[in-house]
Amino acid sequence: MNDRSEYVEKMKAKLDEWNAEIDKLQAKVKAAEADAKADYEKQLEEMRKQRDRAQEKLKEAQDASDAAWSDMRKGMESAWESISSSFQNAINRFR
């Protein structure tokens, strides 16, 4: 497995983890009191946006040529870390 394949697989696994977390938190939103529900919905929407950004980055990595991948990897990692951090912050607000 080459460097890009490993990176893509790691990204896919993280996206699966995030999707499971979103599903779990969606159940929490349904059970929430009315005053907390709106805030939870807002947080879930932000998490979905971050997940969608990550999916776009995953597609970019998959579609890139080998030459383009070596040029874009550092920027991709930086973007992925930013998305991960934002997603984790949203999760923490639920707790």
Q: Are 4 and 69 in contact (CB under 8 A)?
A: yes
Q: Output the pLDDT for position 89.
A: 85
The CA distance from 24 to 19, in Å, is: 9
The CA distance from 52 to 15, in Å, is: 9
Looking up tokens 């080459």 gives 2
pLDDT digits (tens, 9 = 90+) for 35-93: 788 888 888 898 899 899 889 988 998 898 888 888 888 888 888 888 888 888 888 87
Q: Output the pLDDT for position 42.
A: 87
Q: Output the pLDDT for position 75.
A: 84
Q: Output the pLDDT for position 32.
A: 82
Q: Output the pLDDT for position 1.
A: 56
